[in-house]
Amino acid sequence: MGLVATALILPGLMPSDSAEQVAYDRFLDRVAAGEVADVLVDNQTGRITFIDDGETTFETTGPLELSIDDRRLLSDSGAAVRFETPQPGFLQTWLPLLLPVGLIILFFWWINRRAQGQMSGMMSIGRSRAKTYTTERPGTTFDDVAGYAGVKQEIREVVDFLRDTEKFAEIGARVPKGVLLVGPPGTGKTLIARAVAGEADVPFLSVTGSDFMEMFVGVGASRVRDLFESARKMGKAIIFIDEVDSVGRKRGAGLGGGHDEREQTLNQMLSEMDGFEGSEGIVMIAATNRPDILDPALLRPGRFDRQVVVPLPELDDRRQILEVHVKGKRLHDDVELDLVARGTPGMSGADLANLVNEAALIAVRNGDDAICAEHFEAARDRAIMGQKRESMAMSDEEKELTAYHEAGHALCAAVLPTADPLHKVTIIPSGMALGVTMQLPAEDRHTYRSDYLRERLVILLGGRMAEELVFGVTSTGAGNDLVQATETTKKMVREWGMSERVGPMAWGSQNQVFLGDELMSSRDYSDETAHLIDSEVQRILTDQEARCRLLLTEHRNALDLIARSLLEHETISGEEVGRLVSAAARPDSADDPSLIEPSPVDPSTVK
């Protein structure tokens, strides 16, 4: 800034150069001709200003020391000659000295401001980082949350209490102090909390669990105190803590002591929620997808009294969620959201939003002016199976092996009575798989019967058995199938009591959350029982493998037809598989090439 000021001031201090410039030789000629009336010589710069007979001012630059001849010429010309040495002004004298001093002062002032800012930051490190929203923000309401009528009803009680406390006080009802939203990732827990902020006429303080954690011990506890103090000043308020499991984990689970920053923060939060000093009028809402690792003291009555489960959406909920996400998007007439909802079991709200967006991207990529049913089909395939790798080169032998592998899965799924309906089979590489057999349940399942699980094992082993039956060898393509089959069988024996030899006993998962729990806990069954569990897992898998081998041997003709159709078309629908299985019962079906001629059924049809 000082340099800029100097550049602006100095030109104004310099004398203006408005006189006409002439050469020094021309000046001497005019002096000799007697045309110069007045001459002013600057001894410092050698600048000469002169006026002619017409009173016109000229300027020239001569030597600093005029020669004797030039002086004699000026004296003999009769002109008025003056020599002067100009004195510098105040600014011209002191500005070169003051400018460095000013720059030094400005530098130290800037350093002082930076130090004050850092000190103020250090002094405010214990303050809460919660964001406070008024009744106008955010604008999300319960109408923007599709589905989840039961969840919204339980949360609405909290909103009604804060709006009309007297109605609850008349009959002595006490609203829960804390509501814990529990559910898988992407189910809309944070969205529901934002809807509470939009519905309640009270301030809403939003904070995440990681905002309490710092490298300095005691900062988290200080921020918890400041958060509740700010909420008490507001009278009635809602505090929302997202990802509460980052600060509310079980105490004493690790190898260290109980004086770490996270545990001190949790202790302060427990005290503020239901300690010696009350917190009437303050309702806490927290969200987590790991309720199993929360400290028991955090979940007791008086703190988080109520746990509201936000599960994966059901069929009707998925339809409503899809209706919300397709608003503002151009849909083709062949799109039926009911079919899309039926074909997306197990998807969360975030998954459905991504599905709609992916379908729109595919429509744009294909150059279509509207989102069609086939775009939703392609988007779902990509979400479930992964991106297609159509450019991947497969040898004829590998392609045939893959075709029989997927035909084995498809045949078992089409023949077994309790299996989920077969949707499509493809040998186009997708994601990490060389081929995919997709089943879609006719309705959402909440419980699984033992006969359904055993038939599920037969379907998983169908690909491996088809390879062994046709080629006499097995390949690595069944690796993932064996992993799924083994994990399912372990749960059947160890957790679900579906083994007659083991009996109605359950030991739960062996995956410990904390290192300390794993070191301090011991296995709750003997080595003999562990051996029995292993033998039962092996027996169930071996029995279902034998059942699968018998089924494929009995329907060998259908297996060949499905594999030939896959080699011809690469992708066939579940209806086409069913038709081939039915046609394979004919005695001459093995030599009839027309059976695999029909093209696959329209893939937009969802079963």
| 581-to-157, 402, 425, 455, 600 alpha-carbon distances in Å | 56, 19, 14, 18, 15
CA gap 520, 553 in Å, rounded: 51
Q: Pairing between strand 282-288 and 237-242?
A: parallel
| 552-to-286, 357, 547 alpha-carbon distances in Å | 52, 41, 9
Task: With beta carbons less than 8 A apart as the criterion, state whether 258 and 251 touch.
Answer: yes
| Alpha carbon of residue 200 to chain centroid | 28
CA gap 289, 190 in Å, rounded: 11
Q: DSSP per residue over 289-333, as a string? A: S-GGGB-HHHHSTTSS-EEEE-----HHHHHHHHHHHTTTS-B-T
* Cα–Cα nearest to 456, from 430, 431, 492, 510: 492
Catalytic pick from 406, 467, 536, 575?
406
Which residue bears the tokens 């909920």? 317
CA gap 273, 356 in Å, rounded: 41
Looking at the DSSP bridge assignments, the partners of residue 409 are none
Dihedral class, residue 80 (left if φ above 0, else alpha if ψ from -120 to 50, else beta): beta
Q: DSSP per residue over 57-102, as a string? A: EEEEE--SS--HHHHHHHHHTT-EEEEE-PPP-HHHHHHHHHHHHH
Residue 63: cis peptide before it, omega within 30 degrees of 0: no
Q: Taking the CA of residue 195 as centre, how many other CA atoms within 13 Å lie in the half-sphere pointing to its CB?
A: 19
Residue type, 535: S
406 part of the active site: yes
- Per-residue tokens: 118: 């850092």
CA gap 476, 106 in Å, rounded: 73
3-state secondary structure of 422: strand
* Cα–Cα nearest to 422, from 439, 435, 404, 446: 439
Sequence-distant (≥ 6) Cβ neighbours of residue 430 within 8 angstroms: 381, 385, 386, 387, 388, 389, 436
Polymer length in residues for the chain: 607
- The vertex-273 CA angle with 270 and 277, nearest 5°, equals 105
3-state helix, strand, coil split of the chain in percent (to 5) is 50, 10, 35
Q: What is the enclosing helix (H) or strand (E) of 561?
A: helix 556-569
User: Could you give the residue numbers annotated as active site?
Assistant: 406
